[in-house]
Structure 1
Amino acid sequence: MPDSGLTDALLIKLFHQGQTDNEIASAYYITKQAVSKRRLKLGLERKPVSQQVNAGLAHRWTVWSPQEGTGHHNRHSAKALRAWLRWRLGDTSLSKQQLHLAQAWAEGLRERGEVLCYNPDLEEGWYYRPRRESDGRRVIDWPEDIPFPDEKFKRALDLPPAPHKESV
């Protein structure tokens, strides 16, 4: 890309600003493949939202995943939590079933006034407990002494405010 005007420093800046390869390619009249190849050469990887979710949850828990067989990561609650977070973080690749799972799961948490917890020593691993004031609107328990990966992930853990019901 010698004549495109896109320097390594500029590509790094645009990448960190969240521009897609397509957007960068269009702006500099080059192919998406050229941008992708150069970006990878610079060590800049695009991470799907599901990887963000897994990395974010790893700040809170190490979920039991055996070499063979089914671990806690495949339980219904874990799948629902991951689908919820992917949806809240803007993942447009969720299937209709995953989106329904996420929304129904979160609505159930709201209705029951619960949060999701994890204990690797329990057979099922995942369990629910009553929501405490300190939980705010979070869907999982997150101790105050554990930092969140970032503000966007922290916000994704929150249920939206409850809809106001008008009295008749």
Structure 2
Amino acid sequence: MKTNFDKKKALGVFAQYGFRKTSVGDVASAVGLSRQSLYKKFGSKEELFQTIIEEYSEEVGLQALDILEDKTSDSKSRILRALDTIIGQHVDLMRNSVHGAELVQMGEQVMSAVGKGIMPQVMLKIADVILETHENRSKEQAEDDAFILYTLAKGLSLTVSNYTEYKSGITRATNRLLD
């Protein structure tokens, strides 16, 4: 059931009010649709939220894969841009909202319930990009490095106070791990 509206705007509404206090009408207003059309398509706020999370995660995952495939930039830059796409660009939304952590936790639950989705593919592609310039690493070592970077990026997103701190931390870690 593909949505045809800006999922990031919809997630912003959930982050602003929290899941319980967000109404389908709030989401509808933010994305320029009627409340009735959203209820007709999704049936409930829970299904609306789940669909938004699933589709948005897939969209940013595919964007990250495209970035990692683009060999016009060096490997570190591609990895940093991919991590920024799936994690970094959401730091300010999470940190500037009282409900950001709740949204992330619920999103993680949704993604766990529906399977791993596209993120394992992103991590494997990060490992492939690492191998492009680090021939001395085994595939397993590159996969470990990708896992470390992904996990670190997620951890930073939850502990830093803003995007600038996230960017500085993930850049330092990437430079340290991949130099």
Q: TM-score range by the shorter chain?
A: under 0.3
Could you state the TM-score of these two structures normalised by the residue count of structure 1? 0.28
Q: Which is greater in Rg?
A: 1
More strand by share: 1
